[in-house]
Structure 1
Amino acid sequence: MTLFKIEWRNQQKALIIWLSTFLSLLLIFSAIYPQMFTPVLKQSMEQMMASLPDSLLGTFNIALSGPASMMTPVGYFAYYFQYLYLAACIYAMLLGTQGLIREESDGTIDFLYAQPIARWQIVQWKLLVSLLQLALFWVVNAFATSLFLWFFKEKSDATAEIIRGVRIIYCGEFFSLFFFLCLGFFFSTFLKNVKQSTGVTLSVIFGFYLMGILANLFDKLHFLGEISPISQGIPANLLVNGLSNQWWILIVSLLLLGLSFFFYQKKDFRN
């Protein structure tokens, strides 16, 4: 429990910064919606978007019809939130990659390892703190999104559809966030310094994001979108496909978590 309190205190500042940034951006983009989608502008945007090639629309995950239509509150939210979702994946993986390596970088690993606590318990408590903070971050954002979209919606927009769309997006994307948290913990068992975590995190996140782009551009590479957790969690894809493709992400995540416990047990600590 002492390790839990220490970890919570160490990560609390980052949680507040990320949460404040997300809430501010969600409020700003939600407030823009009624200004952008007046009847005249809506018609102009539909005509402009319809003239673009399907491959380009697919690359930017823009839908002009169906549940992910950009001309609806949830579809508009899905479009801009895909970029915030990318940032959330970075946050989730940073929580993992920095989780088990921080003490080695700070030179306090001997103190931690001298405590009456097993190595698997170190991973357990650090994972629990990171998972709770990630869940808190996501739940607060989901509640704020529903509130902002409801407050700035047009009279013709159905509240039930907004809540349903937000629920599908946030539930589906949490599978991807959990995957990157577990993947971060897995990498953290091999990293030598906490400074390496940022480079590894950005490389992995944007690598998976690029796989999704290539899948949309080239039919022969469509399979890349099926194996990219980033692509599976894109809001527009979730609104169309639901949560049917998320369970394999959970299975791989649990496998990575098990490997993290295993390799941390074998790790050779060095200052």
Structure 2
Amino acid sequence: MTLFRLECKTHCKTLLIWMIVVGILTLGLVSLFPAMKDMGLDQMKAMPKDMMKAFNLSDLGMLTTIKGYFGYEYQYVMLATGIFAAMLGTNALSREESEGTISYLFSQPISRIAIVGEKMLCNTVLYTLYWLVSMAIAYLVCLMFKETGASVSDLFDGFTQLTFAGWVMGLTFLSVGFLLSAFLSSNKSATSLSLGLVFLTFILGVVGKMNNDFKGLLYASPVDAALPSTIFKSGIEWNYIVTDLVVIVVAGLLTFWIYRRKDLNV
């Protein structure tokens, strides 16, 4: 498990920075709720209905509750979370070739399968830690600023489901990132690929919500499988979660298969 420890040590600082930034962002967004819930919604009502639906604003009344407000605002933090997970994946394997450390790995008694396996395990642990801390901070902040009479148990149930759905969403981006990393020989394009992957799938989800003829595109949008507004309102939509789980398994297996046969720049 030497590689596992090295990988964790490499990402320790990055993980801490992301948790701090997301925690501060969450606090800043939710702290605006008391002021926002007393403001009129007339300007938002003037927005086209399809546009409101695409950005999960179909029920404006929900914005006067902490669950509804948090559900809308936090979807953008979910995008950042997807980018973080995708960056972990796209950097994982390509970084070794780009930085020349692949020679060191091959000098150790470790196989390519073990390299991929330990890196996957490490990055899964890192993402899981990031997500659990993010959810704990978000839940505590929502308790601090919730409206009078809001049910604590109801809020906890919603966060429990969101924690699971968001975890699956992140693992989806992580696994696809690993698959892309198996093809790359340099991590210079890892960030742009991560951004492109997350925003492309998000846009596909927006198109799917705006036009019923393209509703199937929602299955290509992991973010839509873990939208806080949807989960808080109607619970987890398991058809999307199952799709994400299939992608995770297939992308993971393909990563092992491709990396095992790849010509590495040693």
TM-score range, shorter chain: over 0.9
Deviations along 1:105-144, whole A, 9 cap, x unmatched?
1112111111001111111111111000100000011111
Q: Tell me what 2:13 maps to.
A: 13
TM-score, normalised via structure 2 length: 0.94
Give the drift of 1:53.
Answer: 2.9
1:252 to 247, 250, 258: 247
Q: Tell me what 1:57 maps to.
A: 52
Q: Tell me what 2:71 maps to.
A: 78
Residue 193 of structure 1: SS of its match in structure 2? coil
Aligned partner letter, 2:51: L
Q: Tell me what 1:172 maps to.
A: 165
Structure 2, unmatched stretches of 5+, are: none
2:120 to 98, 107, 127: 127
- Do the aligned residues in 1 keep the contact of 2:185 with 2:264 (CA within 8 Å)? no
> Could you tell me how far apart the structure 1 residues matched to 2:235 and 2:145 are?
27
Aligned partner letter, 2:140: L
Q: Tell me what 2:31 maps to.
A: 31
Q: Tell me what 1:202 maps to.
A: 195
Structure 1, unmatched stretches of 5+, are: none
Give the RMSD, CA atoms, in angstroms: 1.6
Residue 98 of structure 1: SS of its match in structure 2? helix
Give the drift of 1:173.
Answer: 1.7
Structure 1 residue runs of 4 or more that deviate by more than 6 Å after TM superposition? none
> Could you tell me how far apart the structure 2 residues matched to 1:96 and 1:49 are?
38
TM-score, normalised via structure 1 length: 0.92
Q: Does 1:3 find its partner at 2:20?
A: no
Q: Which moved more, 1:180-189 or 1:151-160?
A: 151-160
> Could you tell me how far apart the structure 2 residues matched to 1:202 and 1:252 are?
19
Aligned residues: 264
Give the drift of 1:65.
Answer: 6.4
> Could you tell me how far apart the structure 2 residues matched to 1:48 and 1:252 are?
40
Residue 163 of structure 2: SS of its match in structure 1? helix
Aligned partner letter, 2:254: L
Aligned partner letter, 1:188: S
